[in-house]
């Protein structure tokens, strides 16, 4: 494999700064949602907080998908926060 090819391949595998920021943002929001839901005893909201923390690991380097799924999971948590 050509060294230039390898270098270009490595740069395509790195996440963008927007992806890194979104991962940190949704991880912090998920942790806060988990702690709040655990303290108030809302089990469905607690698990949506866990999902919010962990889903960036399952998504590839697609930044749009990261923000779409993150916003949807925030909506799920908001819906379930008083549902129990």
DSSP state, residue 2: -
What are the tens digits of pLDDT across the range 33-47? 999 999 998 888 899
Q: What is the pLDDT of residue 69?
A: 95
Domains of the chain, residue spans: 30-84
What are the tens digits of pLDDT across the range 9-64? 666 667 889 999 999 999 999 999 999 999 998 888 899 999 999 999 888 888 99
Alpha-carbon distance 53 to 58, whole Å?
Answer: 11
Mean pLDDT, the chain, whole residue set: 87
For the cut 70, the answer to whether the pLDDT of residue 2 exceeds it is no
Q: What is the pLDDT of residue 14?
A: 74
């Amino acid at each position: 494999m050509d060294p230039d090819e390898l270098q270009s391949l490595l740069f395509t595998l790195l996440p963008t700064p927007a992806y890194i920021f979104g991962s940190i943002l949704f991880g912090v929001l998920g942790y806060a949602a988990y702690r709040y839901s655990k303290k108030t005893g809302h089990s469905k909201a607690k698990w949506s907080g866990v999902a919010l923390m962990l889903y960036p690991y399952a998504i590839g380097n697609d930044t749009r998908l990261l923000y779409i799924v993150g916003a949807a999971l925030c909506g799920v948590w908001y819906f379930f926060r008083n549902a129990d």
